[in-house]
Amino acid sequence: MRDEALTGGFADAPVEAARAFRAALSALARPGRIETIGGAAAPAPVSEAAATLLLTLCDGETPLYLAPSHDSPALREWIAFHIGAPLTDRAGAAFALGTWEALAPLDTFARGTSDYPDRSTTLIVEVPRLAPEGKRLTGPGIETEARLNLPEVAAFRANRAGFPLGWDFFFTAGTALAALPRSTVVEDA
């Protein structure tokens, strides 16, 4: 096991995880809002925000899928040491991490069942940058409308059409975090 796998955890786990969760809650409750989180460092190419989100939300009870863009021995070791999440395939994942291209096609991830729509995959999507511009967002959590530079529209429109089933997304870039729950309506600007 390399040294890299042993470093990069929270210095003060209860407090840093609490702050990171509040940022994640705020981002998901207000789609399009960009929050800043940090404190964790995972092997490249994982962003600081994504590493912090993994430490905050994942543990031995949450099967995790690593898309080809992020699957590396170094990251596997880091996850084994810090999180203990079992690595799994797409269908069994509670969380998935990767770039938008590597995570496609989304259809293979769990969308929940009509009895238990919460049993669906939460996707952590690494993007080059996040900015409050581009696609138009409306729905719960948004007073009038919000804007976010999402990679596309069709996938999110299909996701919304399946409500209450669907996937929930976190987008991470550097220390920036934004989110898109299944309830949001996404349109071209």
Partner 1 sequence: MSAYNFAYLDEQTKRMIRRALLKGIAIPGYQVPFASREMPMPYGWGTGGVQVTAACLTPEDRLKVIDQGADDTTNAVSIRKFFETTAGVETTERTRAATVIQTRHRIPEEPLGEDQILVYQVPIPEPLRFLEPRETETRRMHALEEYGLMHVKLYEDIARHGAIATSYAYPVKVEGRYVMDPSPIPKFDNPKLESAAIQLFGAGREQRIYAIPPHTRVVSLDFEDHPFVASKADHACDLCGADHSYLDEVIVDDAGGRMFVCSDTDFCATRQAEGHRGRLSPEAAE
Residues that bind partner 1 (CB under 8 A): 13-15, 17-19, 21-22, 24-26, 28-30, 56-59, 61-62, 94, 113-118, 120, 122, 139-143, 163-164, 166, 168, 181-183
Q: In what order do the strands lie in the sheet with 176-180?
A: 35-36, 176-180, 168-173, 122-126, 95-99, 64-66
Taking the complex as a whole, the smallest distance from the CB of residue 166 to partner 1 amounts, in Å, to 8
Taking the complex as a whole, the smallest distance from the CB of residue 133 to partner 1 amounts, in Å, to 21
Q: How far apart are CA 36 and CA 49, in angstroms?
A: 8
Asked if residue 82 lies in contact with residue 55, where contact means CB atoms within 8 angstroms, the answer is yes
Give whichever of 3 and 118 is closer to partner 1, judged by the CB atom.
118
Give whichever of 29 and 91 is closer to partner 1, judged by the CB atom.
29
Place of tokens 């769990």: 110
Taking the complex as a whole, the smallest distance from the CB of residue 138 to partner 1 amounts, in Å, to 10
Strand partners, 189: none
Asked if residue 155 lies in contact with residue 161, where contact means CB atoms within 8 angstroms, the answer is no
Give whichever of 3 and 14 is closer to partner 1, judged by the CB atom.
14
Taking the complex as a whole, the smallest distance from the CB of residue 17 to partner 1 amounts, in Å, to 7
Find the helix packing angle between 48-57 and 13-29, rounded to 10°.
100
Give whichever of 108 and 183 is closer to partner 1, judged by the CB atom.
183
Taking CA 19 as the corner, what is the angle to CA 176 and CA 16, rounded to the nearest 5 degrees?
100
Taking the complex as a whole, the smallest distance from the CB of residue 28 to partner 1 amounts, in Å, to 5
Give whichever of 19 and 74 is closer to partner 1, judged by the CB atom.
19
Q: How far apart are CA 19 and CA 135, in angstroms?
A: 28
